[in-house]
Amino acid sequence: MRPQRSRPGMILSYALLSVLALLCLAPVVMMLTGSLKPDERVLTEAGTLAGFIPDQASLQNYADVFTRTDFLGFLINSLFITGTIVICGLLVNALAAYAFARLHWHGRDLLFNLVLALMILPLEAIAVPLFYGVSLLGLRDTYLAQILPFIANAFSIYLFYSFFIGLPRELEEAARLDGASTLRIFFSIILPNSKPVFASVAILSFLMWWGAYLWPLMVTIGPEVRPLPVAIAAFYTLPPLQWGDILAFGVMMVAPVLLIFILFQRWFVRGVAASGIKG
Amino acid sequence: MRFASRLNDQTPAALLLIGPALFGLLLFVLLPFLFALLTAFTNLRLGSPLPLEFVELKQFTRIFNDPAFLQALANNLLFALVVVPLQTALALGLALLLNQGLRGTTIYRTLFFMPVVFPMSLVAVVWILIFAPGPSGMMNSLLDFLSFGQWQPRDFLRDPLLALPAIMLLSIWQGAGFQMVILLAGLQAIPQELDEAAALDGAGRWQRFLHVTLPQLRNPLIFVMLITTILAFRLFDQVQIMTRGGPDNATTTVMYEMVESVFTRQQVARASAMTAVFFLLVLGLTWLQRRLVRQTREVE
Amino acid sequence: MASIRLDKVSKQYDGHDAIIEEMDLQIRDGELLVLVGPSGCGKSTLLRMVAGLEEVSAGEILIDDLVVNQLPPQKRNLAMVFQNYALYPHMTVRENLAFPLKMQRLLRDEVNRRVAQTAELLSLGNLLDRRPKQLSGGQRQRVAMGRAMVRDADAFLMDEPLSNLDAKLRVEIRSEIAALQKRLGITTLYVTHDQVEAMTLGHRVAVMRAGKLQQVATPSRLYEHPINVFVAGFIGNPGMNVLRVKLETVDKTLAFRLGEHCFTLTQSVVENYPDLPNRSGQMLLLGIRPAAITLVEPGGNDSLETIVSSAEPLGHETILHVDADIDVVATDTEDPGNTLLKRPVLTAIIPGHHHFKPGETVHLQIDCDKLHCFDLQGTALAPHD
Ligand SMILES: Nc1ncnc2c1ncn2[C@@H]1O[C@H](COP(=O)(O)OP(=O)(O)OP(=O)(O)O)[C@@H](O)[C@H]1O
Ligand SMILES: [Mg+2]
């Protein structure tokens, strides 16, 4: 704990924090209350205090979302795409990082430097050729195009690598003497002792792909494999413009994530902080 | 590395382990990237019957003579110049406030971080409502309230002067929490003895902040500023959803122009040239950061 | 059980000087051999080469006459106890003990039986369901021992297994290890930098210095007949004093001069070193154990007048450091004959509890029966049987 400030200082701190928290929270509350109101009142009351009070609350908007769009389908798309990227990514990138951090092999340093170099390439720098390739192969509007290219990730490898390199070497050496094979060591010794980094990487890549917009916008055409972020933008442009429905869509879209976030917020915070500590 | 014998040469096992990741990185990152660099010098179009030609720097001269692209670059730059300092200062302020060991810190931290888990497309849609034109719009009435009734209601997203600032505002709302958490971790990593030693040496709170805290926070600060700057140049989702680059290119960005080129006009080569420009920007920024941090990265 | 043999084993990292140079060493079947030497001399590296965790740069390592240079650690059937124990933190004690057995694909009943047996032997019974974090240092050490014992390895390798324990526990577990090793009769290579541990534990002790083997012998032989001044200075607590003196012949007997006084060599010393008479008139290094120096009343013949520089009363004995007008050499250099200590400090062990004041004058006598003779290069004069 840092030294406590004086009393007036403390009150000032709380006042500042509370004002900022209100500003931070306002759009979220507005979204939630708006989603419970009749569509026509959302826009007119957004600027008044009434915009934050859910009188006459009803779930009509939520019902409307399900009749007007295939919300469940989009949710399943998002879950499937993000889930696959995250889970496969954990395995693929952790295994690679382990080989870089611990095994002795030809070309290791060279390839690792390549990985470090690739780390600075954001998706945007490869979106065009990737889009071209996907179009040529006729893979637009598929899950494959939304999943496969993003499983291997240089930054994830780097995060895993930094963690593995700090694990005590003796653990693995003891296991080798005990007769364990490389894969066995990875799964029985490394993995159980690396929960924090797995959580960090999972959370970071989840946040990244759950909210991804650019790429799915480019490769999806119809609603079949469309994920939520693209779906809500499309829903917004779907006439008639009904703000209550849109906000209800938004609430349902973010609620599961928010719930997970509040339950595991310590891990979220740690995961994000981990991404910065190396910087 | 050479190996005197086969004892510790684990090449077969290693190839097995890195195989999938390497396959993915080469096929879906390196190869496309190199392809983009190459096609930037051609006339490649999706589905075009014209033969593929090498056009030297033509695509680059074209985009740099395109007022929309120049405007996009300028917008990105302006966005970075405004958002990076503002957002970093805000995040630093929040981190400092939360690092005093006050009661309820966790709740505040959760609140401030919450927007980070909101997908940007959702944020954009919600903020369209916040920026709704007319006196009943949320932002308009807030400004009306704050200016004691002096504010004239504006249509933020269709106002060439206000559209970009509006987008900046929601970007800060969504992004500050991310920076805050990183800076908070940086603050907590500063040994408290340093602060105490400075206090014993007679340094006031402001002096301690300037001479102890800030220098210790140097690397995290540089890191979050780099991330935010790069994010500024990747700006796309908000623009595409809220303004489509308008009004009158006032909010267009490099990414938006790039996607427009390849997506609506099938101009793969032109978009590749923009990719190259974008990449050079990112490369320059990253290089700058590495220079500033002077970190020695260990390859074991 | 097995014997381990090192045949001209060398170790060198690319672009560095050799860490181990042409080392020959044999650990006999059932023997506990202690490898001792100052920090950084390459003990761990050697042990890790035997384990297969480190590449051998040149030479051969043989286990039961089979060259194992190319054999990965998994296939050597050696068990190792690490300095920090390397217990698997996410497993309970039981799981830690069972892990090597599971790797051998033993049936579950057999695994349970062996784990129980080992736990019994080490009295770990009531700790089986704890995690390493919930154990004390001594308990962790015992679990580490258990993990090595449980699997019928051909030999034990231990790298400073006691260095993370406090002094009292160290003595306790030291004797436990000795008893266990004796009971199991398992070939053991034990690395330490603590010469007390080496002397109390080893059937034989190998002294290493800067990658080179100095001497391999039983503890008593090492103490009685160190092969050079390095071993002489390293073994014993405190180590041997080594003085540079000129050998003279006075009245037909060999003698040397320390300060004012002339000390004559006794018959037994001369018999020990038959070469001595030929060296009359030459410089030579003389080793004197601190215990061979006694306190005498002033005025007696053959006593050395010295000035106390410091004293460490330990209760049953007092370690005395004195300044005197003599040439004391450093024992841990390449050229001891020409490396005089700046402050010639002589160390003596005086029985009983004494208080000496720094600066006080004391008179010391040297037991000339127990002298060790070395040439100027520091090698013991031969033959020393
Ligand atoms: N990977 C390496 N590359 C270069 N030199 C190394 C490497 N590993 C160890 N060394 C050097 O080898 C020497 C011997 O190290 P080793 O760990 O075997 O010493 P030690 O006798 O076990 O010492 P201690 O008693 O402190 O454990 C040291 O000087 C060390 O610096
Ligand atoms: Mg060692």
Reported as a single tens digit per residue, the pLDDT across B124-135 is 999 998 888 877
Q: Would you say the CB of residue C16 lies under 6 angstroms from ligand 1?
A: yes
Q: Do A130 and B129 touch (CB under 8 A)?
A: no
Peptide bond into A240 cis (omega under 30): yes
Q: What value does the mean pLDDT of chain A take? A: 86
From the list C52, C55, C71, which residue is nearest B4 (CB)? C55
Same domain, A43 and A125: no
Q: Domains in chain B: how many in total?
A: 1
Note the pLDDT of residue B297.
Answer: 38
Contact call for B173 and A229, based on CB within 8 A: no
Q: What is the CA radius of gyration of chain A?
A: 23
**pLDDT the model gives residue B298:** 34
* Residue of B7, B10, B11, B300 best to disrupt the C interface, most CBs of C under 10 A: B7
How do residues B166-180 score in pLDDT, each as one tens digit? 999 999 999 999 899
**Closest ligand 1 atom to the C-alpha of C42?**
18
String of DSSP letters for A213-278: -HHHHHH--SSTT--HHHHHHHHHHSSS--HHHHHHHHHHHHHHHHHHHHHTHHHHHHHHHHHHHT
Q: Which atom of ligand 1 is nearest to the CA of C46?
A: 18
Report the distance separating Cα C132 and Cα C99, nearest Å. 14
Q: Same structural domain for residues A54 and A149?
A: no
Which chain A residues contact residue C79 at CB under 8 A?
177
Q: How far is the CA of C46 from the centre of ligand 2 (A)?
A: 9
Please say if the pLDDT value at position B4 is more than 50. Answer: no
Res. A46: pLDDT tops 60: yes
Q: Cβ of A55 under 8 Å from any chain C Cβ?
A: no
Q: What is the pLDDT of residue B8?
A: 66
CA distance A16 to chain B (A): 9
- Is A91 inside any structural domain? yes
Check if C42 has its Cβ closer than 6 Å to any atom of ligand 1: yes
Cβ-Cβ contacts under 8 Å, B98 against chain A: 17
Q: Is B158 helix (H, G, I), strand (E, B) or coil?
A: helix
Q: Is the predicted pLDDT of residue B7 greater than 70, yes or no?
A: no
The pLDDT of residue C121: 86
- Residue A64 belongs to a domain: no
Ligand 1 atom nearest residue C83's Cα: 27
For chain B, list the contacting chains (3+ Cβ pairs, <8 Å).
Answer: A, C
C315 pLDDT exceeds 70? yes
Query: According to the model, what pLDDT value does residue B3 have?
Result: 43
The reply to whether B35 falls in a domain is no
Tell me B45's DSSP state: -
Residue A36 predicted with pLDDT over 90: no
**Is there a single domain that holds both residue A215 and residue A167?**
yes
Is residue A1 assigned to a domain? no
How far apart, in whole angstroms, are the C-alpha atoms of residue B62 and residue B271? Answer: 11
Q: Do B7 and C70 touch (CB under 8 A)?
A: yes
| Domain span including residue A38 | 24-58
Q: Does C151 touch chain A (CB under 8 A)?
A: yes
Give the span between the Cα atoms of C325 and C329, in whole angstroms: 13
Domain assignment present for residue A205? The answer is: yes
C108-139 tens-digit pLDDT: 999 999 999 999 888 888 999 999 999 998 89
Instruction: Let me know whether A143 and A268 are in one domain.
Output: yes
Contact C79, C148 (CB under 8 A): yes
In a shared domain, residues A152 and A173 = yes
The answer, yes or no, to whether residue C34 has pLDDT greater than 90, is yes
Do A47 and A139 share a domain, yes or no?
A: no
| Nearest CA, atom 1, ligand 1 | C13
Pocket of ligand 1 contains residue C342 by CB under 6 Å: no
In B75-96, which positions are buried (b, 16+ CB within 10 angstroms) versus exposed (e)?
Answer: bbeebbebbbebbbebbbbbbb
3-state SS string over chain C? CCCEEEEEEEEECCCCCEEEEEEEEEECCCCEEEEECCCCCCHHHHHHHHHCCCCCCEEEEEECCEECCCCCHHHCCEEEECCCCCCCCCCCHHHHHHHHHHHCCCCHHHHHHHHHHHHHHCCCHHHCCCCHHHCCHHHHHHHHHHHHHCCCCCEEEEECCCCCCCHHHHHHHHHHHHHHHHHHCCEEEEEECCHHHHHHHCCEEEEEECCEEEEEECHHHHHHCCCEHHHHHHCCCCCCEEEEEEEEEECCEEEEEECCEEEECCHHHHHHCCCHHHHCCCEEEEEECHHHEEEECCCCCCEEEEEEEEEEECCCEEEEEEECCCCEECCCCCCHHHCECCCCEEEEEEECCCCCCCCCEEEEEECHHHEEEECCCCEECCCCC
Number of domains composing chain A: 2
What topology does CATH give the domain C234-374?
OB fold (Dihydrolipoamide Acetyltransferase, E2P) (2.40.50)
Question: Residue A19 has which token pair?
Answer: 């004002």
Q: Is the CB of C11 under 6 A from ligand 1?
A: no
Q: Find, in chain A, the residue whose alpha carbon is nearest to that of B134.
A: A44
Mean pLDDT of B267-293: 85
Q: 3-class DSSP state for residue B42?
A: strand
Mutate to test the interface with C, among A171, A177, A198 (most CBs of C within 10 A): A177
- The pLDDT value recorded for residue A252 is 92
| Residue boundaries of the structural domains of chain C | 4-225, 234-374
Q: Specify the CATH number for the domain of residue B110.
A: 1.10.3720.10
Q: What percent of chain C has pLDDT over 70?
A: 98
Q: Is A43–B132 a contact, with Cβ atoms under 8 angstroms apart?
A: yes
Percent of chain C residues past pLDDT 90, beyond the cut: 38
Contact predicate C93/C124, CB 8 Å: yes
Residue type, A224: E
pLDDT in tens, B47-106: 777 777 788 788 888 888 888 899 999 999 999 999 999 999 999 999 988 888 888 888
Q: What is the pLDDT of residues B179-234, one digit of tens each?
A: 998 898 888 888 888 777 877 877 777 888 888 888 888 888 888 888 888 889 89
Quote the CA–CA distance of A263 and C154 in Å, as a whole number: 51
The helix or strand, by DSSP H or E, that contains position A190, with its residue range, turns out to be none
Of B1, B4, B6, which has the smallest distance from its Cβ to C57's Cβ?
B4
Average pLDDT, chain C: 88
SS3 label, residue B271:
helix
Confidence of residue B263 (pLDDT cuts 50, 70, 90): confident
Partners of B4 on chain C (C-beta within 8 Å) are 55-57
Q: How confident is the model at residue A241 (pLDDT cuts 50, 70, 90)?
A: confident
Q: Is B175 helix (H, G, I), strand (E, B) or coil?
A: helix
A144 and A200 share one domain: yes
Q: Do C82 and A173 touch (CB under 8 A)?
A: yes
Q: Classify residue A65: in a domain, yes or no.
A: no
Overall fold of domain C4-225: Rossmann fold (3.40.50)
CB A30 within 8 A of CB A43: no
User: Between residues 199 and 238 of chain C, which touch chain A (CB distance below 8 Å)?
Assistant: none
Name the closest ligand to CA C38.
Answer: 1
CB of C15 within 8 Å of a chain B CB? The answer is no
Ligand 1: does its nearest atom lie under 6 Å from the Cβ of C43? Answer: yes
Centroid of ligand 2 to alpha carbon of C38 (angstroms)? 10
Residue A47: its H or E element: none
CA of C43 to the centre of ligand 2 (A): 6
> Does the pLDDT at position C328 exceed 60?
yes
Query: Is residue A83 packed enough to be buried (19+ CB in 10 Å), middle (13-18) or exposed (0-12)?
Result: middle
Q: Cα(B297) to centroid of ligand 2, in Å?
A: 27
Determine, for residues B8 and C69 on separate chains, whether the beta-carbon distance falls below 8 Å. no
Interface of A with B in 26-65 (CB under 8 A): 26-28, 30-31, 34, 42-48, 51
**pLDDT confidence tier of residue C96, bands split at 50, 70 and 90:** very high
- Containing structural domain, residue B107: 60-299
Give, using CA atoms, the residue closest to atom 30 of ligand 1.
C40
Residues A31 and A149 in one domain: no
Tell me whether C52 touches chain B (CB under 8 Å): yes
The atom of ligand 1 lying closest to the CA of C37 is: 21
Please, which residues 104-123 of chain A have a Cβ atom closer than 8 Å to chain B?
104-106, 108-109, 111-116, 118, 120-122
Contact between A177 and C51 using a beta-carbon 8 Å cutoff: yes
Query: A60 CB contacts (<8 Å, ≥6 apart)?
Result: A38, A244
Residue B43 lies in a domain: no
Q: Between B10, B115, B189, which is nearest A24 by CB?
A: B115
Q: Mark yes or no for CB contact A268/B36 under 8 Å.
A: no
Helix/strand/coil for A140: coil
Question: How far away is chain A from the Cα of C87, in angstroms, using its nearest Cα?
Answer: 7
Tell me if B149 is assigned to some domain: yes
Partner-chain residue, chosen from B114, B199, B272, that has the shortest CB–CB distance to A129: B272
Q: Tell whether ligand 1 has an atom less than 6 A from the beta carbon of residue C41.
A: yes
Arithmetic mean of pLDDT, B243-249: 85
A4: pLDDT strictly greater than 80: no
Q: Which residue has the higher pLDDT, A241 or C98?
A: C98
Examine residue A18 and state whether it is found in any structural domain, yes or no. Answer: no
Look at residue C86 and tell me whether its pLDDT is greater than 70: yes
